[in-house]
Amino acid sequence: MPARPSLKRVPRATFLGRAIAGNLGALIVGVKYFIDPNRITLLYPHEYIKLRQGYRGYIVLIFDKCISCASCARICPARAMKMVTMEVKDKKLNRAMKKKYPVINYNRCIFCGYCVDVCPTEALYHVPYHDLVYLNMQDMILNVEEFQKEPEFVTAKEGVPVTYVFDEKRGLVKVSVEESSNQGSSSQPAGGGGSS
């Protein structure tokens, strides 16, 4: 059934009714939330959000799966991913040869995930965290060795993992990860994947 226009009117009331009912209504709602506030603030870094699998976070390379097709570098809209030439030993041919592998510059990356989605061998994957700190901009340009390691997630060592679950009375409710897994509210496990 297609959309249909419907004429609405702004609710009107007499001045007296509006002044009394309007003020009272606003006050009652205010008092309700004064007594029973709904706070969703995250006390970062004492708490951190455990993101679900599928979140487009930092990217890791699985070296052995890479076939040097350069699709990831070709599709990168921010030109953050480049191919570098490396000398590797080919296991099948048993001789040294030059191949190209991707490296990433996190100064430019916009986390669109195109590189991961376009990789024909699934040699790239996302880790489900995004709050990393680098000490200088040079550190954000990774070489092939660094690109293969999952970045160090310091917050996970210091804070308590929490997650937000949907609630029809309170919108989002912040719960610890253990609680949420007991409730069975998150069907997909949060956490990164294992590398090769």
Partner 1 sequence: MSAQDSSSGVPHLPGMEVRPVERNVYEVQIGPAHPGSGHMRIIVELDGDVMVRVDPDIGFVHRTMEKLAEGRDWIKNIPLFERMAILDACNITLPYVEAVEKLLDIEPPERAKYLRTLLCEINRIASHLYGMGIFGVFLGHSTLYMWAFGDREVFVQLAEDLTGARLTHSYPVFGGVRRDMPDDFPENARKAVRYMRNRLNEYAKIFLNNPNIRKRLEGVGVISKTRAAELGIAGPNARASGIKYDVRLVEPYEAYPELDFEIPVFEEGDSLARAWMRVEEIRQSLNIIEQAVDWLEKHPREGFMHDKFWKAAPKLYKDVYEGNIPYAGKYRVKLMPLFATLKVPAGKAAARVEAGRGEMFYYVESDGKDVPYRVRVVSPSFRNVIAFKYVMPGHRLMDLPTIYGSFDYFPPEWDR
Report whether 132 contacts 151 (CB < 8 A). yes
Query: x/- binding map, residues 161-190, to partner 1, per CB under 8 A?
Result: ---x-xxxxxxx------------xxxx--
Give the contact letters, 127-146, x = binds to partner 1 (CB under 8 A), - = no.
--------------------
Contact 89, 95 (CB under 8 A): yes
Q: In this structure, what DSSP letter does residue 19 have?
A: I
Region of 81-89, 92-100, 118-126, 141-149 interacting with partner 1 (CB under 8 A): 118-126
CA angle 62, 51, 176 (to 5 degrees): 135
Strand order in the sheet with 171-176: 47-49, 160-167, 171-176
* Helix/strand/coil for 26: helix
Beta bridge partners of 85: 100
Q: Name which of residues 31 to 70 contact partner 1 (CB under 8 A).
A: 38, 40, 52-56, 69
Residue among 21 and 97 whose Cβ is closer to partner 1: 21
Strand partners, 162: 49, 176
In the complex with partner 1, the residue whose CB is nearer, 78 or 97, is: 78
Judged by the rule CB under 8 A, the positions of this chain that interact with partner 1 are 1-11, 18-19, 21-23, 25-26, 28-30, 38, 40, 52-56, 69, 71, 74-75, 77-78, 110-114, 117-122, 125-126, 164, 166-172, 185-188, 192-195
